[in-house]
Structure 1
Amino acid sequence: MTDMTPTRPLLEVRGLNKHYPAGKRGLFGRQMMQVLRDVSFDLYPGEVLGLVGESGSGKSTIGKAVLRLVDSQSQAMRFDGRELAGLPTEDLRRLRKDMQIIFQDPYASLDPRKTIRATLTEALDTHGLHRGAARQPRLVALMQMVGLNPAFLDRRPHEFSGGQRQRIGIARALAVEPRFIVADEAVSALDVSIQAQVLNLLADLRAKTGVSLLFISHDLSVVRFISDRVMVLYLGRVMEVGPADQVHFAPRHPYTAALVSAEPSLHKAPDRIRLTGEIPSPLNPPSGCVFRSRCPYALPACATAVPDLRPAGEGRMTACIRDDIL
């Protein structure tokens, strides 16, 4: 973890919204499904911001939106002070060098026809990096950075385990020396023991390179391990933001507390929060606070009040109209 000092954010997002068309077009047009609702956050140089929430909360959509892999609407979305919305294609292509992604599925994210050398070379060629005699030393260095034998460069993906393939995916993201990486459920498809190895690798690479990470996961304990701060998302809205350990050990929002309660443990408090039912559909979200239909502390006012994020002390923010429950 890093000690964050006041500085200009590397990534600034304000009022991010995303809609998808749903179902067939009817008499009054096609119904729209809103998957992100007024999401705002900052990510600082060298920081790891963890993004956690259940499946369907909109986590991956945030990652794709900030990388401009999907269209979205926002009041502002700036990288290093530069507005991303409406950025010309050629400028966006150049910016890709600074903004990379590690995908969830290590089996589907690599071209089975290409050797590892070809995969990494393609990334370098796209941005004109390490040409000629500098190419081989760079490829060797990338393999060593992710803990793989450089002799494996001429092998193909089917010759590697899932954990090794994910290391190759990390090497591909690092190849162009980015300043920011979205790690989208980067360890969720791996066995627990391999997860720990990849998490330690990412933490070590962050310390060595200073790269900023938006680390996306449904597992709060995994997010806490690697993150400086954590942002908790539910049905497209931010519920809580704060330092990772504080969010995990002293949650201020009932949803965060429920995520903590759901973690495997030999010692569970008798008053742990249990969620019932599934996360509502974005097509028909609850009125007011989107979490109220599953919240054990909901008040009648929660059906109409849409809580904004507000300060909760010690660098914390929470979106709840109550401050007397946790």
Structure 2
Amino acid sequence: MKKHLTLENGPLLEVKNLCKSYPVARKGLFGSRRMTVLRDVSLSLGFGEVLGLVGESGSGKSTIGRTILNLAKADTGSVRFDGNELVGADAGTLRRLRKDMQIIFQDPYASLDPRKSVRATLSEALDTHGLHTGAAREPRLRELLNLVGLSPDFLDRKPHQFSGGQRQRIGIARALAVEPRFIVADEAVSALDVSIQAQILNLIADLREKTGVSLLFISHDLSVVRFISDRVVVLYLGRVMESGPADAVHFSPGHPYTAALVSAEPSLHHQKTRVALSGEIPSPLSPPSGCVFRTRCPFALPGCADKVPELREFSPGRWKACIRDDISEGRP
């Protein structure tokens, strides 16, 4: 199913040192302060590749997706899409590239206008970019529903007439309607039942093979991310903890946080060594000094509080932000 693509031909998407914060109201005479959600995030995505982005709620995953698409403005850093800088780009550049960058939202019901039929929803996307006009419209609409496994007879139905899985298929069809080169799938299966999740994951994998679209697949579930992705980036409190090939990261985690995510997954096949985390993810308003994960890390050392660990390559194609060389035996 996976192509295991590399970045040999250069990245389609390259994010460097991305930072994003939001103002937070504060009572009293001193106005507001800012909450930093992303801290120097860097990642890249190859042509036709699926990059998984995983982390707990509050890690900043969705903010990365929204900032890449310019739905939220970056504070600093760089986002280059096929050589075009998006941070600070003018409206004309963003309008020209918008067709190539689409999103699949988490909630398939909230993302669809309940007043509009499937035909109207898909046509709106096509009209925005002047695609498949006139006599070419109807064949394209029917093709899109066939592509996502729905009957073309559903074109005149409205969202309330569909199940959650069917609504998400419509959302996927809408994203594919303009033939994008890159899609952000933001928790695209988390609102669905487990059995339906598998169907949608298989659909996305199949569409990736058919269309060659590149995907940033965002999820809190590492097992879901591993299934669909070529490579994985692990995020914690707005910082990248680890990145590398999906299977390698899952079966041989290099960072204590990744190891904790893996050990928390249920398994029917073998007994896992449990890496327990204490407490909750800290508030972005007051992150820990040094390594942001150190307050929950079972292998933390005194030096972890002193400086932010650099993301370094610890084996070919694998990176982690940790001062430890080995967590496999929990030794200092």
TM-score by length of 1: 0.98
2:189 maps to 187
For this pair of structures, how many residues does the alignment match? Answer: 326
Distance 2:3 2:27 in 1: 49
Residue by residue, what CA displacement relative to the aligned partner does 1:43-68 show, whole Å, maximum 9, x if unpaired? 11100000000000000000000000
Q: One-letter code of the match for 1:3?
A: H
Shift >2 Å, 4+ stretches: 23-29, 266-271
Q: One-letter code of the match for 1:16?
A: L
Residue by residue, what CA displacement relative to the aligned partner does 1:256-295 show, whole Å, maximum 9, x if unpaired? 0000011012466463201121100000111100000000
2:178 maps to 176
Structure 1 residues 269 and 305, CA gap change in structure 2 (3 angstroms): farther
Unpaired stretches in structure 2, ≥5 consecutive residues:
none
Distance 1:176 1:267 in 2: 42
Distance 1:153 1:104 in 2: 22
Distance 2:250 2:189 in 1: 19
Residue by residue, what CA displacement relative to the aligned partner does 1:14-63 show, whole Å, maximum 9, x if unpaired? 00000111122654442111000000011111000000000000000000
Matches within 5 A, 1:179-218: 179-218=181-220
Distance 1:26 1:173 in 2: 45
Residue by residue, what CA displacement relative to the aligned partner does 1:138-170 show, whole Å, maximum 9, x if unpaired? 001000000000000000000000000000000
Name the % identity.
Answer: 74
Q: What is the deviation of 1:74? A: 3.1
Residue by residue, what CA displacement relative to the aligned partner does 1:196-218 show, whole Å, maximum 9, x if unpaired? 00000000000000000000000
Matches within 5 A, 1:1-326: 1-5=2-6, 6-24=8-26, 26-266=28-268, 269=271, 271-326=273-328
Q: Kindly indicate whether the alpha-carbon contact (under 8 Å) linking 2:263 and 2:273 is maintained by their aligned counterparts in 1.
A: no
Greater shift after overlay, 280-289 or 90-99? Answer: 90-99
Distance 2:274 2:44 in 1: 31
Q: Kindly indicate whether the alpha-carbon contact (under 8 Å) linking 1:14 and 1:74 is maintained by their aligned counterparts in 2.
A: no
Distance 2:268 2:163 in 1: 31
TM-score by length of 2: 0.96
Secondary structure of 1:154's counterpart equals coil
Secondary structure of 1:230's counterpart equals strand
Unpaired stretches in structure 1, ≥5 consecutive residues:
none
Secondary structure of 2:42's counterpart equals strand
Secondary structure of 1:57's counterpart equals coil
Distance 1:26 1:288 in 2: 30
Distance 2:239 2:283 in 1: 13
Q: CA RMSD in A?
A: 1.2
Distance 2:38 2:272 in 1: 34
Distance 1:102 1:318 in 2: 29
